[in-house]
Amino acid sequence: MILWNGFKKENDEETGRTLVRITDGNAFCYPMYFFIPSVTNDEKYIVYHRVDDKEVQIYSTELETGLETKLTNAAYIDTQWRPWCSPTPPGVLDHRSVLNPVTNEVLFFDGNTLFKTPVDKSAPEVVFKLPDDRVNISQNCVTPDGKWFAYVHHDRDIYSEIAKSRDWSIYYPSRAKSYETIAEAYNLETRETHEILRINSPIHHIFAYGNEHFIINHPVNENGMIFAPLKGGWYVNLRTKDKLGRMPCHCHSTARGVTYEAYQGHNNVVAGIMNPFTYDRVEFDLPKDFGYTHTGHDPEGRLFFYENQVYNEKETLLHNMLYLKQIENGIPEYRILSGHRKSYIEKAQKAHFHPRLTADRNYVIFTGGCPETKTNHIYMLDVRNLDETKGIELPWE
């Protein structure tokens, strides 16, 4: 990956590592959701959401030149990703856009219509339209081969009632009203469709594990990691609640298995990696002061790193990232990856780091607070001299 010299740079105060700020200005910028890629396979473009007080749209930046392009001009009014994120102005459905890194196209919903457009210009084409009585409620994905677009849709009126409040004591019990939630895959080449899963529960994340399987979060009964095939017909919950009440929350597809963290009440957090076909897993403790945690994504599953948040019920105060240096004699040893950083938005999706390692293994992409603009922007943390985690032995390798 070649980065334009004109991107603003700074040094992390606690580690000295170089930070490259990819976006700028009086807006909140954040990548595609962190289960899916935001950088094209040829490493030339990064795509992201940009929201200000007028609109939420998708942009791209050419990494070698810094050239920024507005890709969408959507005008739908009800764009908020309920109940998880903060209210948003008109534009694309927030957090539900997807990069197809194989074809270098962005898929986005303008209301119930799915469009695609190239990453270097605004030239939208209609892909399909959901019925008016349905609504896309999930963060979506494309399989690694670029062929299948997977998404989740729900009865519009019922979901409006379920997700009308961000008071979790109201939202969580309301989920029992869900009926006939459908996870579906659409072939972008042939227009063939497959129903992956039909369930009486809201489910909010779907991402690919290879080209034939998907991981889906979170069913009503527990957070869970549902594992299901492209053609449907069955599913399993990969890691159920343990005797301490810990459940997985965030997880990732990697070349070695599914990485995740699990907790109850954002304390006593463990992390792990699992083989979704044999159900074997390896788990280890995260630092005792970890609370609300996001597992970082390494596509190869060899660098284990985690975002930790300091927050209250109104806002995210500070974030930092640690990486697992090694496990020796069963004891995990952690080192700081990036120091504490402020967020400039309430405790919602736009405040999370959602860190991902780039395919060339040179940078960690994350969303961080920018003191200069008092908004959140996309950063790349230089990790080129970072050794991979040692001491994790997987029984399936």
Where residue 313 falls among pLDDT bands split at 50, 70, 90? low
pLDDT at 267: 81
Average pLDDT over residues 358-369: 96
pLDDT at 18: 98
pLDDT at 266: 78
Where residue 221 falls among pLDDT bands split at 50, 70, 90? confident
Average pLDDT over residues 341-357: 88
Find the range with the poorest average confidence among 18-32, 44-58, 133-147, 343-357: 343-357
pLDDT of 314 > 70? The answer is no
- The set of residues, in sequence order, having a beta carbon less than 8 Å from that of 5 and lying 6+ positions away, is none
Q: For residues 340 and 320, is the Cβ–Cβ distance under 8 A?
A: yes
pLDDT at 339: 93
pLDDT of 251 > 90? The answer is yes
pLDDT of 96 > 80? The answer is yes
Where residue 366 falls among pLDDT bands split at 50, 70, 90? very high
pLDDT at 343: 87
Where residue 315 falls among pLDDT bands split at 50, 70, 90? low
pLDDT at 200: 96
Average predicted confidence (pLDDT) for the chain: 95
Residues in the chain: 397
Q: For residues 1 and 63, is the Cβ–Cβ distance under 8 A?
A: yes
Q: Does domain 243-397 have CATH number 2.130.10.10?
A: yes
Q: What does residue 176 show for φ and ψ, rounded to 5 degrees?
A: -65, -15
Three-state DSSP at 189 gives coil
Is it true that 32-241 and 243-397 share their CATH fold? yes
pLDDT at 347: 72
106-141: per-residue pLDDT in tens? 999 999 999 999 999 999 999 999 999 999 999 999
Q: Which CATH class is domain 32-241?
A: mainly beta
Task: Sketch the domain layout of the chain as residue ranges.
Answer: 32-241, 243-397
Cβ-based neighbour number of residue 314 at 10 Å: 8
